[in-house]
Structure 1
Amino acid sequence: MEQCLEQVARERSGHTAVLHNNLLYVWGGYMSVGDDEVFLPHDELWEYDIDRGVWKVFQTTGDGPPSMSGTCGCCLDGVMFIFGGCDDNGQTNELYSVDLNDGTFTWKKIVPVSGSPPSPRDKLSCWLYAGKMVFFGGYGHKVLSDLNSSSRNFIVDETSWAGELFWGWNNEVHIFDPKLLSWSRPQTHGRAPAPRAAHASASIGSKGYVCGGRVMETRTSDIHCLDLDSWTWTELAPSSAAPVGRSWHSLSPVSDHSLFLFGGLSVDCSPMSDGWLFDTDTRKWTQVEHPFKNKPRLWHTACPGSDSDVIVFGGSCDYILLVDTGHCNDALVFQTQPYPLSSVDRVSERVESHIVITSTPG
């Protein structure tokens, strides 16, 4: 398999990234070339060694996804899954996988044997629980017949519809079982979050959390919890001042009762670089200091690493709907908890290799 050493992944936004064996794998997204938006090659898979600070790129083969942005990615048992996204033909609802363990990096298009996949969408999120993938929300289109049967779970975007196709935001929950190759849709209870896209999500144990996102013409900072055993929704009213509303931010688990929020696009369309911790027990938000206040990011990825680190890669430092030139390719490592003494030497080496790496202005 062809590799290129000592390179740095290209700048991008709207990509997918997962962490496996302390290696960060990055796929897809788009960048700007002149006045054009260009999708990154679909047959490239970038690998970043967290400890060594070294990039490799692998040329993938097989029946893989087209070049896209806004996909939803996750890693289960060393297999990277890609669902949904948007390409030159619009949103899709296809599911693909690539094994990160065997060294061949061969894509497979997954054809379900039972159940129906979600309607085409992008800017959604997912949780992993009990060996299954649980998908939530997103922006996409439905046909009129489906729209009539899901009016409470779908808000039509009045500015985007054509004939029998209606675009909009949803708050649906869908489950994919990779062992049975089956799609299902659970009956949820409680008051679900408003339909949304470009939100952030994370899971701790049997709880899935959703924070903020684009809800019609506004951006929120509300936080909701879905019990993945009882399928019951609960809105978590904060006990302290909360972050401002935002979309295209990230949310990462950093302990058994805390989540780390970073960046995003504010209600007034300002790229942000603030970091917050949310305590799921006390429901308290706490703003935290970090060394990347001069690096606003939106539509980036964030992966929980070892020692409660969070690895943020790529994204944009501009309001991409207007400027779309500030795509980045640096990896920012956030230390959210004190390091154990046993890892001090390893951590000092890792920090030196992370903080200063090639990046675009931002």
Structure 2
Amino acid sequence: MESAFERHCLELVASERSGHTAVVQENLLYVWGGYMSIADDEVFLPSDEIWVYDLEGGIWKVFHMTGEVPPSMSGTCGCSLNGHMYIFGGCDDNGQTNQLYGVDLTDGKYAWRKIIHRYGSAPSPRDKLSCWVYSGRIIYFGGYGHKLLTDIDSRNRSFIVDETSWVEDVFWGWNNEVHAFDPMQTSWSEPQTQGRAPAPRAAHASATLGSRGYICGGRVMETRTSDIHCLDLETWTWSEILPCSTSPVGRSWHTLTAVSDNSLFLFGGLSVDCKPMSDGWLLDVDTKKWRELEHPYKNKPRLWHTACPGKDSDVIVFGGSCDYILLVDTGHCNDALVFQIQPYPLFRICEDYIAKNVRTSEMLRDQLPLLPPKLLETVQRRISFYRPSKKQTKTQ
């Protein structure tokens, strides 16, 4: 029988948002930050709360966060490493930042810690950047931010000035810098890369496959691209992948997710002509071929959303905008879209079949109590996921 607490949880749904951070840890989706539109205003979401979505049970919970709470922001770069979520950069009420924060997701306390590095120099303030996690380090790439005129080397094309944005000796622009942070040593470093680096950009997408970091598209000055570049995280050598088949159109504010040892999944974004997109593509990095993926969310365009890898090669897309986000009162979203990339194992097929049909099948209901306790608990969580609920249906 369903408890009052469980019924309350079923009514909870994370707020609509774009430009947020999301990570998956042990079948739980953690969502933090971002912003939403209220009337004519863009409002940052509270920074002292974290929303947690049970990917097996379909239930949202919200937790209060303590400690050195960061300011409310959008456009931060978030990732998970060794059970911790890290956020770097982003844009708050005072503009772009270069602060780094971490929170332990495993102890249930959700206490923020502002990380002060002991060695090296932090990157300049920026947002809309991306990162790779490899060999215990977080490696950041690109973004849009500001630098002092004295810090801009005109001979080095790693920072392109935005001619429309400058104040006295402070200039905004795009960069293609690579910075690495080691949480164990609390140190920053700037690896010297080889090969031809991608053009400076922001609002691009990235993913890690083995010892390689990939980036795709993004905004390069006034254009949106679809190019793909790879950085070998052992040798720090750049290379460009030139697709040998039909490829996605240029875009920004999209996502790229590793779904196997050799394939990446691209979803959504904002096109060159400023149209929100809902197309999904798979790239085989070995054959360099793109294949458009059929999926049930063609009517749900998304940009500035998040995409996280789940179990059985699922990709969980949360939030984002279904409209051009530079418009006032844009359509932010709060649904979790689960993309099935690979065929499911037989156990999951059976589990989902029972969960979907137990209410209409007397035989399944009679057999359910005969399952071993652990299996019964798992199946009951899936039944909860598929339980009809006015608010819960919006998150499926």
1:161 maps to 2:166: yes
1:93 pairs, out of 98, 108, 111, with: 98
Task: State the superposition RMSD in angstroms.
Answer: 1.9
**Given the two structures, how large is their TM-score scaled by the length of structure 2?**
0.88
Cα distance in 2 for partners of 1:302, 1:92 equals 23
Post-superposition offset of 1:64 = 1.8
Tell whether the 8 Å contact from 2:214 to 2:231 is kept in structure 1 after alignment.
yes
Q: How does 1:216-227 map onto structure 2 within 5 Å?
A: 216-227=221-232
Unaligned residue ranges in structure 2 (runs of 5+): 1-5, 356-381
Task: Classify 1:71/1:355 alpha carbon distance in 2 versus 1 (closer, same or farther; 3 Å).
Answer: farther
The residue that corresponds to 2:316 in the other structure is: 311
Q: Which secondary structure state, in structure 1, belongs to the residue aligned with residue 327 of structure 2?
A: coil
1:184 aligned onto 2:157: no
| SS of 1:161 mapped into structure 2 | strand
The equivalent residue for 2:274 is: 269
The answer to whether the 8 A contact 1:250-1:264 is kept is: yes
Shift of 1:355: 11
Distance 1:220 1:263, change over 3 A: same
Shifted more, 154-163 versus 338-347: the winner is 338-347
Using the TM superposition, give the Cα deviation of residue 157 of structure 1 relative to its aligned residue in structure 2, in angstroms.
0.5
Specify the SS of the correspondent of 2:339. Answer: strand
Q: Give secondary structure in 1 for the equivalent of 2:203.
A: coil
State how far apart, in whole Å, the 2-side matches of 1:354 and 1:97 are.
Answer: 34
Amino acid at match of 2:318: F
Q: Match of 1:249?
A: 254
Residue equivalent to 2:112: 107
Give, in angstroms, the shift of residue 353 of structure 1: 3.1
Return the alpha-carbon distance in structure 1 between the equivalents of residues 175 and 186 of structure 2.
24
Within 5 Å, which residues of 2 pair with 1:185-224? 185-224=190-229
1:327 aligns with 2:359: no
Structure that is richer in strand per residue: 1
Superposition map of 1:1-362 within 5 A = 5-6=9-10, 7-148=12-153, 151-348=156-353, 349=355, 353=385, 357-359=392-394
Q: 1:150 to 1:184 in 2, by over 3 A?
A: farther
| Alpha-carbon distance, 1:145 to partner | 1.2
Would you identify which runs of 4 or more consecutive aligned residues in structure 1 move more than 6 Å?
none
Classify the secondary structure of the residue corresponding to 1:152: coil
Are 1:5 and 1:57, in contact at CA under 8 Å, matched by a contact in 2?
Answer: no
Q: 1:28 to 1:216 in 2, by over 3 A?
A: same
| 1:297-320 superposed Cα distances (whole Å, 9 cap, x missing partner) | 000000011100000000000001
Deviation of the 1:346 alpha carbon: 3.4
Gaps of 5+ in 1: none
1:354 CA displacement: 7.3
- What secondary structure does 1:344 align onto? helix
Distance in 1, matches of 2:386 and 2:318, equals: 11
Matching residue's letter, 1:129: Y
Deviation at 1:121, TM superposition (A): 0.2
Out of 247-256 and 351-360, give the one that drifted further. Answer: 351-360
Structure 2 letter corresponding to 1:134: I
Residue 149 of structure 1: how far off its partner (Å): 6.5
SS at match of 1:203: strand
Q: Which amino acid aligns with 2:102?
A: S
Quick one: distance in 2 between partners of 1:37 and 1:340? 43
Rg comparison, structure with higher value:
2
Q: 1:99 to 1:149 in 2, by over 3 A?
A: farther
* Separation of aligned partners in 2, 1:149 and 1:179: 35
* More off after superposition, 316-325 vs 100-109: 316-325
Count of residue pairs the alignment pairs up = 359
Query: Deviation at 1:342?
Result: 2.5
Q: Is the contact between residue 84 and residue 104 of structure 2 (CA under 8 Å) also seen in structure 1?
A: yes
Tell me how far 1:343 sits from its aligned partner: 2.1
Structure 1 contact 332–354 (Cα < 8 Å) conserved: no
**Which residue of structure 1 lines up, in the alignment, with residue 371 of structure 2?**
none
CA distance in 2, matches of 1:183, 1:353: 42
Measured after TM superposition, the shift of residue 352 of structure 1 is: 8.7
By percentage of residues, which structure has more helix?
2
Q: Counterpart of 1:188 in 2: which secondary structure?
A: coil
Q: CA deviation at 1:340?
A: 1.3
Contact persistence 1:329–1:358 (CA under 8 A): no
